[in-house]
Amino acid sequence: MRMFATIAKLLVKRVLTAIPILLLVSALLFCILRILPVDPAAMSLPPNATVQEVEAMRTEMGLNLPLYQQYGIWLNKLFHGDIGRSIHFRQNVTSLIGSTLPATVELALIAMVVATVFGLAGGLFLFYVRGTRAEAVMDFISILLLSLPEFLWSLFLLLIFGVFFEVLPFTGRLSPGFERPVVTGFLLLDSLITGKLSTFFNALEHMILPCLALGIALSPSLMRVLRSSLLDAYQDDYIQQARLRGLSEKRILIRHGLKNAILPTLSLMGVQFGFLFGGTLLVEIIYSYPGMGNLMVDAIRNADLPIIQGAGLTYCIAVLVISIVVDSLYLILNPKLRVR
Partner 1 sequence: MAIPSPKNPILSAQNLCVESVGAKESFPVLTDLNFSLEPGKILGLVGESGAGKSMIGRTISQYLPNGFAVTKGTLAFDGEDLVSMAAERRRSLLGREIAFIPQEPLSGLNPVLTVGQQIKEHLLRIGLAPGENWRERALKEFESVHLPHGAALLEKYPHQLSGGMCQRILIAMAFASRPRLLIADEPTTALDVTIQARIVKLIAEMQKRDGTAVIFITHDLRLASQISDEIMVLYAGRPAERGPAKQLFSAPAHPYTRCLQLANPTITGPRRGLFILPERMPGLRVLKELKGCRFASRCPNAIEACTRTEPPLADIGPNHIAACIRTEKTPDIVPPPLAPGREIASSKIHLNGEKLTKAYTTAWSPFAKRSVFKAVNSVDFALGEGEFVGIVGESGSGKSSLARLVVGLDTPTGGKITLAGRDVTANGNADRAYRREYIQMVFQDPQSALNPRRRIGSIVTQANEASGLHNSTRERMDRAAELLKEIGLPPDAAMRFPSQLSGGQKQRVNIARALCTLPRILVADEIVSGLDVSVQAQLLDLLLKLRDEHGFSMLFISHDLSVVRYLCDRVMVMYRGEVVESGRTETVFADPQHAYTRSLLAAVPPDDVNAEWSPVLAEAGYQVE
Q: Which residues bind partner 1 (CB under 8 A)?
A: 5, 9, 12, 131, 236-238, 240-248, 255-256, 259-260, 333-336, 340
Given a contact cutoff of 8 angstroms between Cβ atoms, the answer to whether 173 and 103 are in contact is yes
Kindly state the DSSP code that residue 248 receives in the 8-state scheme: -
Nearer to partner 1, 258 or 318 (CB): 258
CB of 125 to partner 1, least distance (A): 20
Nearer to partner 1, 41 or 252 (CB): 252
Kindly give the interhelix angle for 259-286 and 197-233, rounded to the nearest 10 degrees: 140
CB of 260 to partner 1, least distance (A): 6
The residue type found at 302 is N
Is residue 114 within 8 A of residue 215, CB to CB? The reply is yes
Residue 111 has, within 13 A of its CA and on its CB side, a CA count of 32
Q: How far is the CB of 328 from partner 1 (least distance, A)?
A: 16
In the complex, the smallest distance separating the C-beta of residue 332 from partner 1, rounded to whole angstroms, is 10
Contact by Cβ (8 Å): 185, 99: yes
Bridge partners of residue 92, in order along the sequence: 85
Q: Which is nearer to partner 1, 175 or 240 (CB)?
A: 240
Within 234-304, residue ranges assigned H as helices are 237-244, 249-251, 259-286, 292-301
Beta-carbon contacts of 191 under 8 Å, excluding residues fewer than 6 positions away, are 181, 197, 199, 200, 203
Sequence-separated (6 or more) residues with CB below 8 Å from residue 152: none
Which CB, 152 or 333, lies closer to partner 1? 333
Minimum distance from CB of 12 to partner 1 (Å)?
A: 8
Nearest to 271 by CA among 225, 229, 331: 225
**Torsion angle of the four alpha carbons 324, 330, 335, 336, in this order, in degrees rounded to the nearest 10:** -90
Nearer to partner 1, 163 or 339 (CB): 339
| Shortest distance (Å) from residue 222 CB to partner 1 | 19
Closest separation in Å from C-beta 6 to partner 1: 10
Contact 338, 331 (CB under 8 A): yes
- Which lies closer to partner 1 via its Cβ, residue 108 or residue 226? 226
- Our CB check for partner 1 shows the closer of 19 and 244 to be 244
Q: Least distance from C-beta 228 to partner 1, angstroms?
A: 18
In terms of CB distance, is 46 or 131 closer to partner 1?
A: 131
* Residue 212 CB contacts under 8 Å (≥ 6 apart), including other chains: 114, 153, 157
